[in-house]
Structure 1
Amino acid sequence: MTLQRHDTQTRMSRAVIHDGIAYLCGQVAGPEAREGDIVEQTRSMLSRLDALLKEIGSDRQHMISATIYLKDGGDIAAMNEVWDAWVPEGHAPARTCVVAPMPAEELKVEITVTAAIKGS
């Protein structure tokens, strides 16, 4: 059994990799986009997700599952437009989308992803 923690802090690790599967912590919009609308926040969040996937040796094509948390269910259509353009055709992960409180008032969306490590 192999277990690797990536960027471990007091309360969490940014990713935990176990036998070639990466479990990522929730990703939110970066500080530059936190006052933006759902489209801007979703783009920022997915950009940050891309960076974390790359850091750990994975990418969009290797996503297994995604859970998307929305502050307002009315934002799902706009969020889905950004999501649909971002996910490579034929590589959609298993996905759940729920309405939930956010960890900070200005946040509108958060995502948690499980992904395979490339070559595993």
Structure 2
Amino acid sequence: MAIRRLAEEGRLSGAVVHGGVVYLAGQVADDATLDAEGQTADILAQIDALLAEAGTSKRHLLSVTVVLADIRDAPAMNRAWDRWLDPAAKPARMTIQAPLVDPAWRVEITGIAALGPGAPAA
């Protein structure tokens, strides 16, 4: 079964498609000067783009992990999440606090999605 790698960069692929599933790498904001709400919105837009490139959408997200550098940013992150979320297609989600590689990053998000109908499996 083929493996399709999307948005490849130095050390990783932004997403990997295999066996009808899309695996998202941890996504961080392009603009690290934003607050946690802004970084979350930036990341969710990136996730939308990666899922579209893979042939699916947020409606097919199965699981999401949100990592916050400071758990006190959870309300700000949730404001952006709630604006973005399709209430009819909520994924399983976990939110944790952990140090991120760049201290300017407040949020990192990863997830797993099923491919949409008619999308290539790899």
Once the two structures are TM-superposed, the CA of residue 100 in structure 1 deviates from its matched residue by 0.7
The match for 1:97 is: 95
The match for 1:27 is: 27
Partner SS state of residue 25, structure 1: strand
Q: CA RMSD in A?
A: 1.4
The match for 1:5 is: 5
Runs of 4+ in structure 1 deviating by more than 3 angstroms, as ranges, are: 7-10
The match for 1:40 is: 38
Corresponding letter in the other structure for 2:88: G
The C-alpha deviation readout for 1:29-66, integer Å capped at 9, x for no partner, is 113xx111111111111111111111111111010100
The match for 2:67 is: 69
Corresponding letter in the other structure for 1:81: R
The match for 2:17 is: 17
Between the aligned partners of 2:48 and 2:81, the Cα distance in structure 1 is: 13
Matched residues, percent identical?
40
Between the aligned partners of 1:12 and 1:27, the Cα distance in structure 2 is: 11
| TM-score using structure 1 length | 0.90
Corresponding letter in the other structure for 2:28: V
Unpaired runs of 5+ residues, structure 2, are none
Between the aligned partners of 1:20 and 1:28, the Cα distance in structure 2 is: 25
Which deviates further from its counterpart, 89-98 or 11-20? Answer: 11-20
Between the aligned partners of 2:103 and 2:97, the Cα distance in structure 1 is: 14
Between the aligned partners of 1:10 and 1:25, the Cα distance in structure 2 is: 13
